[in-house]
Amino acid sequence: MRLHHVQVGMPAGGEDEARRFYRDGLGLAEVDKPAGLAQRGGAWFRSAGGAEIHLGVEADPRPPERAHPALAVDSTAELESLGARLEDLGFEVDWSQRYNALTETGGFERFHAHDPFGNRVEVVREVTDQ
């Protein structure tokens, strides 16, 4: 089994803001929505590995406090590059827990950011040895 997609909420008309964060900031590819769903608004994005984040229009979107998608990258350089790109686009990137998930045998380093609608996104790099 593998994860196909995660859906998060957004307000109507927020597609361009979503593209700025998910496409321009995180580097995900936008995916065309099926015609029957495109009329509802929103936007879908896909990672190189195939997992998708779907942004669906909600009348009163309220981002969850802790629930979030976590996207994995392959290197510290990629992690830092994505964080810098988001910051350059004006998004706040929180590195305060960067090493909190590391143990003597591995774990991951990370940052957190919030999309334009308040949805938390985590970006991680797995560490297999130290």
Range of the structural domain that residue 86 is part of: 5-127
> pLDDT by residue (tens digit) across 19-32?
999 999 999 999 99
Q: Which helix (H) or strand (E) holds 125?
A: strand 120-127
The total number of structural domains in the chain stands at 1
Q: How far apart are CA 52 and CA 4, in angstroms?
A: 6
Rounded Cα gap, residues 74 and 31, in angstroms: 23
Q: DSSP 3-state assignment of 98? A: coil
pLDDT over 80 (residue 104)? no
* More reliable by pLDDT, 67 or 105: 67
* Six-digit token string for 55: 């942004």
* Strand partners for 103: 106
The pLDDT, as a whole number, for residue 106 is: 78
What CATH number is attached to the domain comprising 99? 3.10.180.10
Nearest-Å Rg of the Cα atoms of the chain is 15
The tokens describing 86, both together, are 């988001």
pLDDT tens, residue by residue, 37-56: 999 999 999 999 899 999 99
